[in-house]
Every structure is written in structure tokens, then in C-alpha cells.
Structure 1
Amino acid sequence: MTPPAERKQVLLRLDPVVYEALARWASDELRSANAQIEFLLRRALQEAGRLPGGVAPIPRRGRPPKTTPIAPGTPTTQPEAEPEREAEPKQQE
């Protein structure tokens, strides 16, 4: 397994009013201003058809999702759900 590539650091100069609007938007979506900028840049690149194919997804931050503990000997895969049956047509009398 190869170590993840180091993230590129970039100095960005923004109008203070633009930064404040961006920071509020990021806060509304529970992101940092930096993560919001990256999210928006990736979305713009994708919409323009310029996002490289091998780009890694944005790393998830924060606490990992809760998982249910699995008892020893329990299968790790979920059983397949039965296909839904179509309702039987009613017989006319």
C-alpha cells in the first residue's frame, strides 16, 4: 500500500466580504472554509469536464460512523432480501 500523496498548500487572497460569505456557507454545511473551497473547486472542475479521472475523493473528517458490533460466528454479509411479489389480481365474482 502506498502512502497518500501530500496535500498541496496554496496561498489564496480573497476579498474579505467574499471570504465571510464563503465562511458562513461552509458553516451552514458543517465544513471549514478550506473544505468548502475544495468542494466548490472540485464541483466546478467536474461540471466543466476537467476533473481528472484518478482524483481521490475528499477525505472525510470528524468522527467515523458508528458501527454495530458483530458477535463472533455471525456472518459479515447481510442476507439478500426476498424479491417483492406482485399483488395477485383479484378474482371477479
Structure 2
Amino acid sequence: MRGPGDPAGGQHRVAVPVTAERKKVLLRLDPAVHDALARWAADELRSTNAQIEFVLRRALADAGRMPKEAGRIPRRGRPRKTDSPSEDEEP
């Protein structure tokens, strides 16, 4: 029987790196504003959510209010190939 101070039942614990969880926000927008953002996002091959974050980050930077501890926007999608020559290099 396990005691209250031993929730793992005597098993060893492994340290797992902690990643900062992204905040979830409910945002109410005028439908016309949302449609314009969605079209803009599609033009730049981003999701609407990524476009909103992009615009907010740009506004923070322009206003001099971007926190120094703010991480970069995570890259989404398929990873780039690292073993193929770039366009600038000759094969």
C-alpha cells in the first residue's frame, strides 16, 4: 500500500525539461475584422492565430514594449532538409 508521500509507488522519477506553455486567449472580433485577418494570413501562408500573434508582436516591438524574455515564434510545419545543398551552393 502506498503512503500519501509516495505517489509514484517507489518508482524513480526522471527529470523532464519544462517548456513554457503557450497561453490560450479567448478573443472576440468583429466578423469583418476576422475575415480580413484570415485573408491576410492566407496571403502570407500563416494560420489566422499565427497572424494575430505576428501583428501583436510587431505592435509591441514598434511601441518599444516587447519583453526581453519573450521567446521567438515557434516554427511550424515540416522541418527543413539539412543535408541538401542550398540554392547558393554549387552541387
Q: Same-fold call, TM > 0.5?
A: yes
**Structure 2 residue runs without a partner (length 5+):** 1-15, 85-91
- For residues 26 and 74 of structure 2, what CA distance do their matches in structure 1 show? 20
Aligned ranges for residues 55-74 of structure 1 at < 5 Å?
55-68=70-83
2:72 matches 1:54: no
**Structure 1 residue runs without a partner (length 5+):** 70-93
Aligned residue identity for 2:18: P
- For residues 52 and 72 of structure 2, what CA distance do their matches in structure 1 show? 14
Aligned ranges for residues 1-93 of structure 1 at < 5 Å?
2-68=17-83
For the pair shown, the structure with the greater C-alpha radius of gyration is: 1
Deviation >4 Å, runs of 4+: none
Q: TM-score, normalised by structure 2?
A: 0.72
Q: Identity across aligned pairs (percent)?
A: 68
RMSD: 1.4
